[in-house]
Amino acid sequence: MSEKVLVCGRLPDGGREAFEEADIEVTHLADRATGSLSDIIEPYAGVIVHSPHLVDAEAVAAADSLRVVGRAGVGVDNIDVPACTERGVLVMNLPWGNTVSAAEHTIALVTSLARNIPQASAALRAGTWDRGAFLGVELNKKRLGIVGLGRIGREVARRAQGLGMTVLGTDPFLSASAAADLGIELREFDDLLPDVDFLTVHVPRTPETTGLINSASIGRMPAGVRIVNCARGGVVDEAALLKGLESGHVAGAACDVFETEPTDNVGLLAHPHFVGTPHLGGATQEARQRVGEGIARQVAEYLSRGVIRHAINVKALPPGEHAAVAPYLPLVRRMGSFLSQSYSGIDRLRIEYFGEIAAATLTPLTANIIAGALSAFLDVEVNEVNAEQLARQRGLRVDAVTGDAWPGYSSLVRVTAHAEGADHAVAGTVFGRDRTRLVEIDGLAIDIAPRGTMLVFLNEDAPGVIGRVGTLLAERGVNIADMSLGRNSSGGDAIAALVLDHALEAADLDAVSSLPNMHWVRQVTV
């Protein structure tokens, strides 16, 4: 049965084709009303939403089949990300799709403020020809302050520089050298404010940025400043902005986003030096095409192949690493599952990455190991989205380290579980492109693909052990699909790992355990 995806809002032809190529069934509600999707979300593995549609806690609770939520745009204010994370639902957006459109709209508003274009146009339409009332200022040599130098902020900077503006910027995650390469003078936020003629914000709305531009920060700006918000409603305090306009300290203001949308701020909208647009930053034909098709392809790739791009609540693999790392993801999950099914009372995992794999982005690998270890014993979905959170909740300590290449392997992953006072380890690697193998159990070398039902036993290294096991299985009609044997080079113990066509009943497993020379027997399903 194919996966089902719900798309609310626009779905370009390219997005529909992406789902068809992945054999995913699409329900497209182009005119879905604003609000929660809790009433219709239940059967869908994936959902794509635009800003009016809410994947809130109620919707997440109702979404038994949900694996991924895609936001057709940048902000995820309409998605309850913590609720999704707790349920193991991936949240992804498309941070680049409307970058150019949003930057161009910002510059359009800056220009509108400088030359009073909307007000002059409105007066002309009303029959008034009055050039003196709309005297503007040049942008050339004016100082533009940019708060937030991410993708959009940097695109705004490039366009402003093309207009001859001097660009000052503030961003805690951008180095001074990187800013200098962009031709931007980097400042601390408080140091930026006194030196701007225009100010534009390009930061997400978070507890730290809500009300960032307020009465105090506006008061630190020079008289006659012009302020633009094309980022998120609430980053600029609208009451403080109106007060600044009314006092004349703020010469002009423009907002494309508002604290409440649709906005009911009549005082702000009516002010003669205010310019407002109804959240048009990404509203271009080109941006809609890129965003709609791009997020559809991301959701389709995740549901069909497990590829994660632009995730909000999990570390994604960089594109250049995916081919090399992807085969290790199912391997390490099975290793975690193998350990948790083999040994009870695990309270700590030590993960060691050796060789080439140690240079990769390790967070998804570590998360998959934890997910494998926890999934067999929890009644909730455990995956790389919520694995680390669930481990913390259950007091499972996880340490990950890297090391040089292990002798004989270009890459090796070893996971050691501390359980009831003892350490137990399993190691694995990938040969070629996708030949996954377990190569070590508790220090004894083996070579077997971890799949299906596995019978693993440690025994005294004595003649006849394997024969007796094979005979017992044959008597019970259980075929061996694969087998690997390992032994201690100094003598003593040996280990065997068998892949069975089907699982043993409890009584049959007890019979294997009772055979001579057996130390322990485990049956695991990976």
Catalytic residue status for 261: yes
Do residues 231 and 257 lie in contact, with contact meaning Cβ atoms separated by under 8 Å? yes
The Cβ-side half-sphere exposure at 180, using a 13 Å CA radius, reads 3
Catalytic residue status for 232: yes
The three-state secondary structure class of 132 is helix
The three-state secondary structure class of 186 is strand
Out of 21, 261, 286, 505, pick the active-site residue: 261
How is residue 95 written in tokens?
């941070």
How is residue 492 written in tokens?
């003593």
Out of 232, 271, 290, 333, pick the active-site residue: 232
Judge if the upstream peptide bond of residue 262 is cis by omega within 30 degrees of 0. Answer: yes
Alpha carbons 369 and 390: distance in angstroms, whole number: 13
Alpha carbons 296 and 7: distance in angstroms, whole number: 9
**Angle CA 321–327–333, to nearest 5:** 115
Catalytic residue status for 288: no
Task: Provide Rg for the chain, Cα atoms.
Answer: 30
Type of residue at 115: R
Torsion of Cα atoms, 323 then 327 then 329 then 335, to 10°: -160
The three-state secondary structure class of 367 is helix
Alpha carbons 155 and 38: distance in angstroms, whole number: 37
Name residue 200's beta-bridge partners.
146, 228
Out of 279, 297, 309, 414, pick the active-site residue: 279
Type of residue at 424: H
Name residue 411's beta-bridge partners.
355
Active-site residue numbers?
Answer: 232, 261, 279
